[in-house]
Amino acid sequence: MNGMQKVLVVDNGERAPDSALSAELAGLGYASVTTPFEAADDVLALIPSPAAVVLQMPRHAKWSERKRFLELATRLRKTLAASHTPVIVTGGEGGTAMLLQNKLSTLGAAVRSPDAQTCNNSKTLSSVRA
């Protein structure tokens, strides 16, 4: 696991087996560390250079929970801008790992865009400048 690029996945702590992003990421060659929202900062401090940070909101989250995730995304985008680490917000839909793979492969190993990507429930990406 040390040689693999690591992705930090932040969720609300409720993990359904049918939406296990870690399995998708492993299949794509990424190691993942999944942490509940409250521990995101502590876990991020332990991962020296994540390939990306994915904030996985529950599909049926209330506005207050969505707002918490979006505020964290904004803060992380500012914090991680210098390292060009993408912060991806997903609404809990499947296919996030493939979107992440597409994002990282288009950026290349040497240059990664500071643009953050947001995945909405219709699974389309749109650039969001932090």
pTM above 0.75, yes or no: no
Pick the CATH number of 6-128 from 3.40.50, 3.30.1380, 3.30.70, 2.60.40: 3.40.50
Question: Looking at residue 60, what is its pLDDT?
Answer: 80
Regarding predicted confidence, which is higher, 103 or 126? 103
Is the pLDDT at 130 greater than 80, yes or no?
no
Report the 3 state secondary structure along the chain: CCCCCEEEEEECCCCCHHHCHHHHHHHCCCEEEEEEHHHHHHHHHHCCCCCEEEEECCCCCCHHHHHHHHHHHHHHHHHHHHHCCCEEEECCCCCHHHHHHHHHHHHCCCCCCCCEEEECCCCCEEEECC
Lowest mean pLDDT among 32-46, 69-83, 100-114: 100-114
Is the pLDDT at 81 greater than 90, yes or no?
yes
- Output the six-digit token pair for 127: 């650039």
Q: In this predicted model, what pLDDT tens digit does every residue of 21-73 receive, in sequence order?
A: 788 888 888 899 999 999 999 999 999 789 999 998 887 888 899 899 999 99
Domain boundaries, the chain: 6-128
Could you give the percent of the chain with pLDDT greater than 90? 35
